[in-house]
Amino acid sequence: MEALEFKCERCGAPLEVSPETIVAICPYCGFPNHISGNLKTENIHIVPTLDKNAIAKAFWDRVNRDFDLKRMKEQIEIVEIEGHYAPYWVGNVHVEGEVEYTVREEECHTDSKGETHCRTVERHYHDYVDETLSLIGSARRQVKSFGVDDIVAHYSRARPKGKRLLELDEDQWSKIKLEILNTEIDEVQAKMIMREDAVDVIRDRYSAKADRIDRFDIVAEEPKNVSLVLLPMWTVYYKHENSIYHAVFAGWDGKDVAATEPMPIWRRAQYMAGVVLGVVIGAAGAAYGGANGSALVSILSLIIGAGASGYFGSLVLEGQRIERASGFMGAFKR
C-alpha cells in the first residue's frame, strides 16, 4: 500500500507532513494547507518580518551598544542568519469567581515604656475575581527553548499588527520566503488549554502572595477572539575566537530578546575578584565573630561569603554570558 502523498492546494507542490500536522505551509508558494484537526485557515494571521539584511544590521547595532562586545568587534564574525515563522494561538479568556486566602503578617505595637513588641498573626482575605486575560501559547508540541519565551514576552508587550495569511499574494510571499513551522495543536485543543491555563494564572497569582489558599472557586469561560498567529524569529550565529554564540531577534522590529555572549578576559578577572571577595568576607566575618563571641555574625558572614563566591565562581565556569529581555514559564502566557 502506497503512502498517502499530500500536495499543495494552490500549486500542487509536495508537502512535508507528520502524523500531528494540522496545517502545512507550502515551501514554494506559501499557501496554508489544512491537513487535519479543527482549524479555519482564514483565521491564520502573519506578523510581517524584516529581511535578513535588516537583522544583520540589528545584530551589529547590538554589538556597538554592548560595552563588552564593542571591544571585541574586530574578532566577531557572523557565521549564519536563520529565520522562521512559529505558530502561536492567541485569545482572550474571561475568568470569574472567589478566592479566600491567609497571609501571615508581622504585627508590632509599642508599650507605655517605649518598647516595641512584635508577633506573627494570620490575616484572612476574601477577593472576588472578574477579569479577562489575554493569553498566547505555542501551537507546537515541541518548542525550541532558547529565545522562544523571550519572543512571546516581547510580542505580549508590543502586540505588533498582523495580517491574514490568505491575503498575502505571491509577490509579498516571495519577499518573506521564510520557513513556517507546522501547526500541531488545533483550535479545539488550544481553547481547552487556554481555559485550564487561565485558571492557573489566577492560582499562581494568589499562591505567590498568600501563605495558604483556603478557598479557590474560579471558573474560566470559553475563550474568545481566538486566532493563530505566525511570529517571525531570527537567530544570528556568530563566531568569536574558536567558539560559536547566537543572538535571537524578533522579526517584526529587530529587537534583540536573548543572546549568548563571549566573556572577555577582563570580565573573567572581575568575576574571579568576586570569588576572592566572597572568601575574604567569610573569613573576616568569622574571625570577627569569634573574637567578639558572636556566633550569629560568624554564621552570617560564612553564608554571605560562600554565596558570593559560589555565584561569581559559576559565572567564571560558564565562559559566556547570557543576556535576555525577559522570560515566562508555562504552556500559555499572559
Check residue 4 and report its DSSP letter: P
Contact 325, 155 (CB under 8 A): no
The type of residue at 91 is G
Give me 262's grid cell.
563571549
What span, in angstroms and rounded, lies between the C-alpha atoms of 201 and 8? 40
| SS3 state of residue 155 | helix
The verdict on 125 and 184 lying in the same domain is yes
Pick the range with the lowest mean pLDDT from 1-5, 276-280, 326-330: 326-330
- Residue 144 phi, psi (nearest 5): -60, 140
With a cut of 80, say whether residue 291 has pLDDT above it. Answer: no
The verdict on 258 and 280 lying in the same domain is no
The verdict on 307 and 218 lying in the same domain is no
Give 163's strand partners.
46
Region 320-330: mean pLDDT is 46
What span, in angstroms and rounded, lies between the C-alpha atoms of 155 and 250? 8
Q: What average pLDDT does the chain have?
A: 80
The verdict on 205 and 126 lying in the same domain is yes
With a cut of 80, say whether residue 331 has pLDDT above it. Answer: no
Beta strands in 165-211 (DSSP E): 179-180
| SS3 state of residue 221 | coil
pLDDT tens per residue across span 94-114: 999 999 999 998 888 887 777
Q: 274: domain range?
A: 267-317
What span, in angstroms and rounded, lies between the C-alpha atoms of 272 and 278? 10
The verdict on 210 and 299 lying in the same domain is no
Q: Is the dihedral of CA 28, 33, 36, 42 positive or negative?
A: positive
* Residue 184, domain member (yes or no): yes
Q: How many residues does the chain have?
A: 334
Enclosing H/E stretch for 110: strand 76-110
Q: Give the model's confidence band at 330: pLDDT under 50 very low, under 70 low, under 90 confident, else very high.
A: very low
Domains in the chain, number: 2
* Residue 331, domain member (yes or no): no
Contact 20, 186 (CB under 8 A): no
* Residue 330, domain member (yes or no): no
Give 123's strand partners.
103
* Residue 328, domain member (yes or no): no
The verdict on 66 and 161 lying in the same domain is yes
* Residue 41, domain member (yes or no): yes
Q: Is the dihedral of CA 161, 162, 164, 166 positive or negative?
A: positive
The verdict on 186 and 296 lying in the same domain is no
The verdict on 284 and 191 lying in the same domain is no
Please, what is the Cα angle at 232 between 149 and 147, to 5 degrees? Answer: 25
The verdict on 163 and 276 lying in the same domain is no
pLDDT tens per residue across span 166-196: 777 666 666 666 777 877 888 889 999 999 9
Residue 4 burial by CB count (10 A; 0-12/13-18/19+): exposed, middle or buried?
A: exposed
The verdict on 280 and 221 lying in the same domain is no
- Residue-level pLDDT at 1: 36
Among 262, 278, 303, where does a domain finish? 262
Residue 77 burial by CB count (10 A; 0-12/13-18/19+): exposed, middle or buried?
A: exposed
The verdict on 146 and 251 lying in the same domain is yes
pLDDT tens per residue across span 25-75: 777 777 777 777 666 777 788 898 898 999 999 999 999 998 888 888 888
Region 268-277: mean pLDDT is 57
* Residue 327, domain member (yes or no): no
* Residue 7, domain member (yes or no): no
Which position has the higher pLDDT, 3 or 85? 85
* Residue 99, domain member (yes or no): yes
* 98-122 burial: b if 16+ Cβ within 10 Å, else e: ebbbeeeeeeeeeeeeeeeeeeeee
Q: Give the model's confidence band at 275: pLDDT under 50 very low, under 70 low, under 90 confident, else very high.
A: low
Check residue 14 and report its DSSP letter: B
Among 262, 281, 300, where does a domain finish? 262
The verdict on 113 and 64 lying in the same domain is yes
What span, in angstroms and rounded, lies between the C-alpha atoms of 168 and 45? 10
